Amino acid sequence: MSALLVIDRLQVRYDSRDVLRALSLEVARGEIVALMGPSGAGKTTALRAVAALQAFDDGRIVVDGFGLTPGPVPPESRLRALRRRVGLVFQAHALFEHLTALDNVTLALRHVLGQSRTDADAVATKLLSELDVGGRAAAWPRQLSGGEAQRVAIARALAPDPALLLMDEPTAALDPARRSALGATLRRLCEQGRGLLVATHDAAFAREFADRAVNLST
């Protein structure tokens, strides 16, 4: 099976200190890979480099045929193909505070993919229901609990149907019941043929739900 994501000897330096040194990993379609390591090990940095939010100094990143090279982050106009392939769920969720849960999900469908309001609403409603937050579609972000906000953020990242989903510390704010539910959701997503790269320091969660784990040390 060809790899969806290839990270090859990725190196990121801050003020001449290596945050990431020669990180290499692959994620295949239908696979959950856990990126493990203590705080400060560079897990978030690696995800941000893959999502082209962060420059890197050496190495190579290829997402489904789209390559990123060392040096400054390219302008958005040259990243369109990457944006269609990669979704990112932030640890803080980063929902748009002026929009309802539903509109958080439809915004990219309408304004990036050019779908009609009706079509976008249908896609978003379905996604929110699948993630068990269908009843919260009209809620404002600050009215959502941590778990609800996370699922709305997942729905928003999935809306453009990316093949690769990146998640940063998804279990950080969840109780045990919610952790299991999230694990089940992630498994379902990868059964749809997506690849998932999940940065986490939660070893139990990784053991239970990930196919493989890659360890980063400081």
Partner 1 sequence: MTVQILSLAVALSMQHGQPRVLVWGGDAEGGAPFVEADPADPSRVRGFDVEVADRIARGLGAGPTARFVQVQWSNIDQSVERGDFTLGLSGVEDTPARRARHAVTLPYFEFREVLAVRPDDQNRIHDLGDLRGRRVATLGATIAYDLLIAARDSTGMIPVSFDDDVHPYADLVAGRVDAVLLDHIIAQRALRRMGGRGFVILAQPVAVGHYVGVLARADSVLRDSIDAVLREAMHDGSLEQIYRRWSVWDDSQGVLFERILRTGAAGAAGTPGRSASTVPAQVVAYLPSLARAAGVTLLVSTLSMTLAVFVGLALASGRLYGSTPLRILTTAYIELIRGTPLLLQLFVIYYGLSGVVRLPALLAAVLALGLNYGAYEAEIYRGALEAVSRTQLEAARTLGFSEAQILRLVRGPQALRYALAPMTNDFVALLKDSSLVSVITVVELTKQTAIYATNVGSWIVPGALCAIVYLAMSLPLARLARRLERRWGGRAA
Among 128, 127, 194, residue whose Cα is nearest residue 167: 194
CB nearer partner 1, residue 156 or residue 179: 156
Rounded-to-integer distance, Cα 168 and Cα 197, Å? 9
Nearest distance, CB of residue 155 and partner 1, angstroms: 12
Give the torsion sign (CA, 64, 68, 73, 76). negative
CB nearer partner 1, residue 21 or residue 83: 83
CB nearer partner 1, residue 88 or residue 206: 88
Q: Say which DSSP state 136 is in.
A: G
Nearest distance, CB of residue 15 and partner 1, angstroms: 20
Give the torsion sign (CA, 134, 120, 158, 93). negative
Nearest distance, CB of residue 111 and partner 1, angstroms: 6
- In the complex, the residues that contact partner 1 under the rule CB under 8 A are 51, 53, 76-77, 80, 83-84, 86-88, 90, 92, 94-98, 107-108, 111-112, 140-142, 153, 156-157, 159-160
- Three-point CA angle 198, 204, 208, nearest 5°: 75
Nearest distance, CB of residue 93 and partner 1, angstroms: 8
Q: Say which DSSP state 159 is in.
A: T
Nearest distance, CB of residue 12 and partner 1, angstroms: 16
Rounded-to-integer distance, Cα 176 and Cα 188, Å? 19
CB nearer partner 1, residue 152 or residue 206: 152
CB nearer partner 1, residue 170 or residue 183: 170
